[in-house]
Amino acid sequence: MEALSLLQLVLGGLSGVLVGFVLGVVGGGGSILAVPLMLYVVGVGDPHVAIGTSALAVAVNAVSNLVIHARRGNVRWPCASVFALAGIAGAYLGSSLGKAFDGRSLLALFAVAMIVVGIAMLRRRNTP
């Protein structure tokens, strides 16, 4: 494991602030920001390492955001529990499958996922 330079630590800290801010404001999008920031700003060379590292960083940011929203009564615990348990299962399956892809292919899949999510978010939603 190689040591991080001072510049990488500073860039990592600034990137973390940005990811935490976006998670706090909109409640999501942490990984969509964190993986590219890890790779292209901080200088993490391996996409697998960037994904794993950003997963931990985003999880810690999300927990701090959860505490704030839980204190304000903004969490529907039954819904959140089902969603979280399903997410844990999906994360396990996804991380297991991700090991089968080389870094370049993994980044291509990540880019496609970002595009699909972006298009889905721009589509008009029918609310009851």
Question: Could you read off the pLDDT of 99-127 as tens digits, one per residue?
Answer: 899 999 999 998 998 899 889 888 877 76
* Residue 128: inside a domain: no
* Residue 23: inside a domain: yes
Asked if pLDDT for residue 28 goes beyond 90, the answer is: no
Q: Please tell me the pTM assigned to this model.
A: 0.79
Asked if pLDDT for residue 16 goes beyond 90, the answer is: no
Q: Which residue has the tokens 């330079």?
A: 5
What does the alpha-carbon distance between residue 25 and residue 29 come to, in Å, rounded to a whole number?
Answer: 10
pLDDT at 124: 76
* Residue 28: inside a domain: yes
- For residue 52, the enclosing domain spans 12-122
Asked if pLDDT for residue 128 goes beyond 70, the answer is: no
* Residue 5: inside a domain: no
* Residue 4: inside a domain: no
* Residue 91: inside a domain: yes
- Report how many domains make up the chain: 1
Contacts of 33 (CB under 8 A, 6+ apart): 15, 18, 19, 22
76 is written with which tokens? 């529907």
Chain mean pLDDT for the chain: 88
Amino acid at 43: G
